[in-house]
């Protein structure tokens, strides 16, 4: 990620893309399993569906618990705001109308496999990062940039892990079954 000079209010975004040698339906099984995500994320520690839910659906909610060396530990409630199997899954963190962040996976059939994208937008509502900005307003652009680079690196790792799982011999066997 190159320097953007973005402020938090600019709602900066980052996107990471990978191609996976597996069908979108096979990749969707992994992407839509939010309980898998803590196992392949350095920050997300656990997730739990709310309201008796057991999987993604439009309007479904889940709590995610995260940990970061500099930011501490926190929990947020996310709301599924886009759900189009096997093409798109998105959630808004906290208030779906005014989220602290938006996250989205998109899957597209491409060259006999799947083009998988993970995208996120910071803001517009205040988040834990806002407290760091409040303490050092003259460093806001640097704080935002560093956090966006962390998101980019974590997202690249997540997509690489999804790719490994989807392309594993076990995944191919399960798809054939």
pLDDT, tens only, 111-133: 999 999 999 999 999 998 898 89
pLDDT, tens only, 48-104: 999 999 999 999 999 999 998 878 899 999 999 999 999 999 999 999 999 999 999
Q: Which of 78, 74, 98 is nearest to 90 (CA)?
A: 78
Q: How far apart are CA 87 and CA 43, in angstroms?
A: 25
What pLDDT sits at residue 123? 93
Q: Where are the alpha helices (DSSP H) in the chain?
A: 24-31, 128-135, 140-167, 169-176
Q: How far apart are CA 91 and CA 81, in angstroms?
A: 5
Looking at the DSSP assignment, which residues form a beta bridge with residue 74? 66
CB atoms within 10 A of CB 69: 7
pLDDT, tens only, 88-107: 999 999 999 999 999 999 99
CB burial of residue 97 (10 Å; 0-12, 13-18, 19+): exposed
Q: What percent of the chain has pLDDT over 90?
A: 80
Half-sphere CA count of 117, side-chain side, radius 13 A: 14
pLDDT, tens only, 150-172: 999 999 999 999 999 999 977 65
Residue 20 has pLDDT above 80, yes or no: yes
What pLDDT sits at residue 173? 59
């Amino acid at each position: 990620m190159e320097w953007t000079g973005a402020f938090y209010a600019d709602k900066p975004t980052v996107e990471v893309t990978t191609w996976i040698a597996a069908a979108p339906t096979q990749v969707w099984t992994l992407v839509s399993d939010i309980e898998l995500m803590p196992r392949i994320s350095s920050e997300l520690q656990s997730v739990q569906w709310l309201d008796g839910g057991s999987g993604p659906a439009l309007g479904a909610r889940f709590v995610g618990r995260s940990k970061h060396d500099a930011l501490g530990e926190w929990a947020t409630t996310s709301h599924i705001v886009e759900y189009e199997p096997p093409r798109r899954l998105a959630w808004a963190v906290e208030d779906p109308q005014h989220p602290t962040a938006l996250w989205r996976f998109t899957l597209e059939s491409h060259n006999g496999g799947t083009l998988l994208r993970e995208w996120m937008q910071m803001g517009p509502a205040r988040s834990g990062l806002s407290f760091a900005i409040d303490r050092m307003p003259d460093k806001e652009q640097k704080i935002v940039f560093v956090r966006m680079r962390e998101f980019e690196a974590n997202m690249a790792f997540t997509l690489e892990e999804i790719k490994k799982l989807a392309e594993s011999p076990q995944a191919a066997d399960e798809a054939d079954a």
